[in-house]
């Protein structure tokens, strides 16, 4: 069994839902904090052990797992398509939908 780290997933969802955070940190306005989309993609799927638990049928957030996985995969696809270019990602219409979906999942998990 792979112990899931819910905190990593929740933090990643908060980052995905926050345009201001993305504009500030992804664009490198604070050089003391390294925050890149590629790392976020890796952390939500792998560092958190969400992907391993999901594929093994072990729920982490219950019925939310499938939505989180789909969102993470869409985000990772966007990272690939834009080659991790933060400016291109922020300008993409898909990123707006990813933000909205991340917030919806966060709201649902808190409910």
pLDDT tens for each residue of 38-60:
999 999 999 999 999 999 999 99
* pLDDT of 31 above 80: no
Provide the whole-model pTM. 0.92
Other CB atoms closer than 10 Å to residue 20's CB: what's the count? 7
68: Cα separation from own chain's centroid:
8
DSSP 8-state secondary structure symbol assigned to residue 24: I
* pLDDT of 20 above 70: yes
* pLDDT of 17 above 90: yes
């Amino acid at each position: 069994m792979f112990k899931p780290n819910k905190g990593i997933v929740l933090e990643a969802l908060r980052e995905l839902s926050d345009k201001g955070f993305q504009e500030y940190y992804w664009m490198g306005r604070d050089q003391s904090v390294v925050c890149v989309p590629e790392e976020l993609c890796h952390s939500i799927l792998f560092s958190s052990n969400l992907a391993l638990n999901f594929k093994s049928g072990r729920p982490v957030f219950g019925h939310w797992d499938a939505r989180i996985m789909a969102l993470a995969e869409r985000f990772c696809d966007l990272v690939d398509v834009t080659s991790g270019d933060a400016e291109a990602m922020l300008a993409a219409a898909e990123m707006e939908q990813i933000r909205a979906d991340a917030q919806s999942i966060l709201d649902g998990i808190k409910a």
